[in-house]
Every structure is written in structure tokens, then in C-alpha cells.
Amino acid sequence: AQPAAAAAAAAARVKAGTYTVDPDHTQVIWSVDHFGFNRLYGMVGGMSGSLQLDPARPAAARLQIDIPLSGLT
């Protein structure tokens, strides 16, 4: 199948609603370049939030994520 057709078919299966973040399966992994000498990496878990989605109005989607810095590693 053509990529655009496959994407359209997948989008048609998306249901409108509010989706809640699963804090046990959501992570942000980050890295920062330290003046070109080395790269530092870290991870943050335990987030909460939600995604409000209406496939008929994708531009109106809203994402709200709370990242607890106490979970920074």
C-alpha cells in the first residue's frame, strides 16, 4: 500500500476522545552536548497528562503533560 493511503486508513480508525498518559509507560529521554567534550544523558518518568483528540479536527488537538523534575535521573 502507498504510505499516504496507509496513513489515511490508520487515521480513520482513531476515535475522538481524551486519552490519559500511563505514567508507568511514559518516559522522556534527553541528552545535552557538554561543550563538545561529552554528551550527558538522562531520563524522566512518572509523568501525568492527557491528549484530547478529534480526528475530524486534528489542529484542535490538545496535549497536556506534567513532568516531575523529582523523577529526573
Eight-state DSSP code of residue 13? T
* pTM, to two decimals: 0.64
Determine the pLDDT at residue 55.
85
Which range is least confidently modeled, 4-8, 37-41, 61-65? 4-8
1 pLDDT above the threshold of 60:
no
DSSP 17-63: EEEE--TTS--EEEEEEETTTEEEEEEE---EEEEEE-TT-GGG-EE
* Mean pLDDT across the chain: 88
Range from 6-10, 23-27, 35-39 that averages highest in pLDDT: 35-39
Q: What is the mean pLDDT of residues 16-38?
A: 92
